[in-house]
A = this chain, B = another copy of it.
Amino acid sequence: MDCPVIDHRGPEFAALTHEILEGLRPVFQTTGQVVIFPSSGTGAAEAALVNTLSPGDRVLLFETGHFSQLWRGIAERLGLKVEYVPGNWRRGASETELENRLAADERHTFKAVIAVHNETSTGVTSRIGALRAAMNRAGHPALLIVDAVSSLASIDFRQDEWQVDVTVVGSQKGLMLPPGLGFNAISDKALAAGRNATLSRSYWDWRPVLEQNRAGFFPYTPATNLLFALREGLRMLHEEGLQNVFHRHDRHARATRAAVQAWGLEIVCEDPREYSSSMTAFFMPEGFDADRFRAIVLEHFDMSLGVGLSKLAGKAVRIGHLGSFNDLMLAGTLSGVEMGLRLAAVPHRDGGVTAALRSLAQEVATEQPIGS
């Protein structure tokens, strides 16, 4: 990223654009279109909606946590009607519930189903493949819009296989760059829907981007240095191999849960099928304030744990384990939590880190005895 800005209308830039777009597609596991915005992930969310929907359209959205709430706000501010399926923030979106609701919608008034793949606020991963299967069983034509901000390039995500219509992503998670870029991966069905969509759109309009991207350019001044960083991030992902990246995150998540369970603390996610591989949230014991705990860890160990968001404020602590992250960084992270628990006199059992190390070591390889 630390390079001079280049002319965004010159030949060197065109090569950059083409390399990036080629590199992004396999990360989304798609052969379709990917669009990049200079924006945060919420910008990409807005783009997903204004490019496909019209004022007053109904959308079905699952309450899975803080980020599903943000989606609700965005959709409502843009003039959509949101059916918000309630949830307890400890479970992912329910495919049964989805099938029932769609089946009941005989007139196909729902124009889109919106789901957060990995709820960063809870560490719960909704099973998008199962949701898609439910939609297909219901024979419902709604678009499937998925927030993959904290899953893409960390947790297996399959745009084409799961027939996702619009995927929404930000740059600052699995892609391993600073925040500042938003992404949409787009199905042909979504592109077609866009032709009749009437929500007003200018900055977020996919069409001029797709058109200018063909020659390697953008209809606005692109965030060149973040694109340099993206090129590097994509090279790193492809060098490691996407399956290896997923496997690494799975291992780290298992080790983190081993630690939390050894401490005797409660993981927010209730269903082991929905454990997140990029983030683990756990509850502070009743009567212990999560924010004071986080402040102690920050002060003494210079580590920022994730704040409990909205309903979980003060109650849950979040441990991120995604992106450019390795075993020893995870061990250091968990060590900071364990020492924080001790310093803050939070009731817990020692040995969380030891449990995590056991988990990590036994998965890394079979033993390689060196004794003579």
Alpha-carbon distance A205/B43, docked complex (angstroms): 12
- Chain B residues with Cβ below 8 Å from A1 are 1-2, 225
- Tell me, yes or no, whether A15 is within 8 Å of chain B by CB: no
Q: Which residue of B327, B350, B353, B370 contacts A331 across the interface (Cβ within 8 Å)? A: B353
- Tell me, yes or no, whether A296 is within 8 Å of chain B by CB: yes
- Chain B residues with Cβ below 8 Å from A139 are none
- Tell me, yes or no, whether A223 is within 8 Å of chain B by CB: yes
Q: Which residue of B46, B178, B332, B343 contacts A367 across the interface (Cβ within 8 Å)? A: B343
20 additional contacts, CB 8 Å, given A8-B179, A42-B221, A302-B328? A1-B225, A5-B178, A7-B304, A38-B39, A41-B221, A42-B203, A42-B220, A79-B200, A285-B371, A287-B372, A327-B335, A327-B339, A331-B335, A339-B360, A342-B358, A342-B361, A342-B367, A344-B367, A344-B369, A350-B354
Residues of A within 8 A of B (CB): 1-2, 5-10, 37-43, 46, 55, 73-74, 77-79, 170, 172, 178-180, 199-203, 205, 220-226, 285, 287-289, 292-293, 296, 298, 300-304, 307, 326-329, 331-333, 335-336, 338-339, 342-347, 350-351, 353-354, 357-358, 360-362, 364-365, 367-372
Give the 10 A-B residue pairs with the shortest CB-CB distance, closest first.
A331-B335, A180-B223, A332-B332, A345-B369, A7-B304, A328-B332, A339-B361, A77-B202, A178-B225, A40-B220
